[in-house]
Chain A
């Protein structure tokens, strides 16, 4: 792996605890989009997401940042899933932007069609976002998304990755990690939970399409998330951002620990944060102190069985995955390992 520089951000917060508190210490120009009074509230309050929903948080930050970056000239296409269901039990809608839901597997194609319409009408100032969960992205929506990348349609695709089909009741997707309990990978038998050696890494697959911009982000670092969305909107062509969004309901975690779990996913190496341009890795978020995976796993009941006697190999396998990510993406701050 070539040495890659650290993701460029204007602001870094090293204090523990909430990051948003740091906003108040900054001059206004450096505060998050969400901290400003003129944020667009694209995904408004009153929707029906669960307490502690990572997806609702991620979507609000991402879309508001995209709205600011595009001078509010934004249209979104949404895959079927939690985000779609909890925002639009008609006649109520939580969206204050033009928004369309068509099917589970076609958000990328619908978005590509919208972008084509805007081009045909000479309205290329209007930008397009497609969004969906991991199932709608890595499984059923995979073909349409790959087609969109292939055509390099002027669309930012955002995947809110909570690592299973939460809307249908927590079934395994191809983004579910090894050992995780879901309704279709129960912690029974010789290899409890989801099988190791399965699944897809969508950000790397997106990079293989050599699209202009690919990034991963996490809801624990909202400055970074906004930065990446804003940067994505500075490119034309297909872009992909995968946001790590803990799901208290599906993961068996406390709603108040969504941010903590998201941070631990990154600090253990389980979910590396990186950026790529035209298929090349251009930046990573370094880890100052690697946390053991137990710290991350123990907060989630979906991994409870890995702590049981006899399942030590599962715990080890998860640590190996984290260590491999750190090696592969060169995640450790220099001299800290």
Chain B
């Protein structure tokens, strides 16, 4: 049914339709509305046979899901930012044990400086954890990918993160087709755990594994991700047959075929980009885009096939490996290493910095002339940066960086100018 609905509320409905049995919740902006809604639904008896746990921290939230999933219950939680870092030990533990938990990440920056706005630093910090990471473009896809995530997780017996841009998606009202229960039931069978804590058939889980077997256990985690590369497109096809929508999958092309320059990105920013790129094509520039829907597993072959004829690629991402460059760019360069394709790394939108049509167009114009720095920090104010560098050179006790910069650009600077 079509609804004009906030992203978080829509995701909560998708989770409810997926018949979860245990949901754990700890508040952190911007995922909070999702678990608030689920808490209300469980309390009102609208989700059958479901327990809602209010925990003391994100570490507790994911740990509770580890217990409930190991006991054979379909388990869900949501997090963001600092919360994800606080649960990180459990993040690795859940994937190490192969527990098919589904977790929403309302993508948000990591402090310090504390910042509640959107970028991908949180989920990127867990990119090597063994969890699958699916990125949603819009709120319709956020709903659809969550339903797919439960099936994917349970088929592989591995946990899945659904990453949706904080605020840009979680707090945006948009038209979303909320599926009906019969459709979801047809797509998502009941959870059949591979391993379960059961007094009728006792087993020990989470035992110590030494050097004699650790490599093999890790290899199998990698193997599951390789398997997922087959399963994800298959599920997207089956999903489309039932729901009538193309949602999810490994990558999605936006007129990338035959384009000289291809912009590669993830998440919601493609919405703005589509308009910019259409304008550039109207001006005779050969440029298209594609989005990576599944960042883990990384769809190496699909990207190679889609980009093989491109002359250059501009990777735009809201994440940075400090001291190195763009994370998605690094992954893509590895995938394309034997192709004669220039890959530009652009880092933008950090901590919620607005990404506008104008500043994108300016950056793309530089990109098609191969004039971007490596890596290129999109929409950065170098005068502000240089002032701080000068301060640090001038005196040892130069103060706190973030506060200094705020003095230069914020209300203090504005007041000084009066």
Contact = CB atoms under 8 A, between A and B. Distances in A.
Interface of A: 72-75, 77-78, 84-85, 88-91, 93, 95-103, 105-106, 109-122, 126, 143-144, 146-147, 150-151
Contact of A117 (B56, B72, B205, B210): B72
Contacts of B73: 116-117, 120-121
B204 interface: yes
A120 B21 contact: yes
B66 A151 contact: no
Given A113-B24, A113-B68, A114-B197, A119 B51 contact: yes
Contact of A96 (B59, B60, B202): B202
Nearest to A93: B204
B207 A113 contact: no
A143 B60 contact: yes
B67 interface: yes
A106 B73 CA distance: 18
16 contacts: A73-B199, A75-B199, A90-B209, A96-B202, A98-B203, A100-B67, A101-B205, A102-B206, A103-B93, A106-B60, A112-B64, A113-B70, A120-B73, A143-B56, A143-B59, A150-B56
- Chain A, interface SS category: mixed
Given A98-B199, A106-B60, A109-B63, A151 B54 contact: yes
Contact of B207 (A101, A109, A117, A147): A101
A91 B208 CA distance: 9
Contacts of B61: 109
Interface in B165-209: 197-199, 201-209
Nearest to B94: A102
A21 to B, nearest CB: 33
B149 to A, nearest CB: 19
A85 B208 CA distance: 7
Contacts of A84: 208
A144 B53 CA distance: 13
Given A113-B70, A120-B50, 15 more contacts: A73-B199, A90-B207, A90-B208, A93-B207, A98-B197, A100-B70, A102-B97, A109-B63, A113-B24, A113-B66, A114-B68, A117-B71, A117-B73, A121-B21, A144-B60
Contacts of B69: 113, 117
A110 B56 contact: no
Contacts of A93: 204, 207
Contacts of A119: 51
A106 B93 CA distance: 11
A110 B208 CA distance: 17
Given A116-B51, A117-B72, A106 B199 contact: no
Contacts of B207: 88-91, 93, 101
Contacts of A122: 49
Nearest to B64: A113
Contact of A88 (B64, B70, B93, B204): B204
Contacts of B201: 98
Contact of B67 (A97, A112, A143, A147): A112
